[in-house]
Amino acid sequence: MNKSIALIIGMAAMCLSAGADNTQTVVVDGTTVNKNVTRLTFSGDDVVMTFADNTSQTTDMSLVSISFSYSPSTAISGPETDKVDAVKRIYNLNGQYMGNSTEGLPKGLYIVNGKKMVIR
């Protein structure tokens, strides 16, 4: 019974890793099977493994070992921003163009690159 739980957990891990680069190792009675399992069905002490090529194999589940490993194919390494320090256009609240640098501007509320900014 413990093997069937382990196989179910393994299949769940395989489903979760669908969006990643993954490898699957299937070993039946000490022999590595070079196919990817897409479905497991349990019947008593046997497991029916259905493979990606639509073939299947029925084996005593005590002889089956399936391991998964995956690494995300894409990851968020950090926010991508346009050059934050590069000021393009500055306007006051009346819509008047004030230049492209905040240096030397009097205290107040300005629109810098389309966003509100307070200079204190």
Name the residue ranges covered by the structural domains of the chain: 2-72, 90-119
Query: Residue 97: which pLDDT band, with cuts at 50, 70 and 90?
Result: very high
- What is d(CA 9, CA 12) in angstroms, rounded to the nearest whole number? 5
**β-strands 37-43, 115-119: how paired?**
unpaired
User: What pLDDT, in 10s, does the model give residues 37-79?
Assistant: 888 888 888 888 888 888 988 988 888 887 777 666 565 666 6
Among residues 66, 64, 30, 68, the alpha carbon closest in space to that of 47 is found at 64
Residue 31 has pLDDT above 90, yes or no: no
**Cα(66)–Cα(59) distance, rounded to whole angstroms?**
13
**Cα 93 from Cα 106, distance rounded (Å):** 13
Percent of the chain past pLDDT 70, that is, above it, reads 67
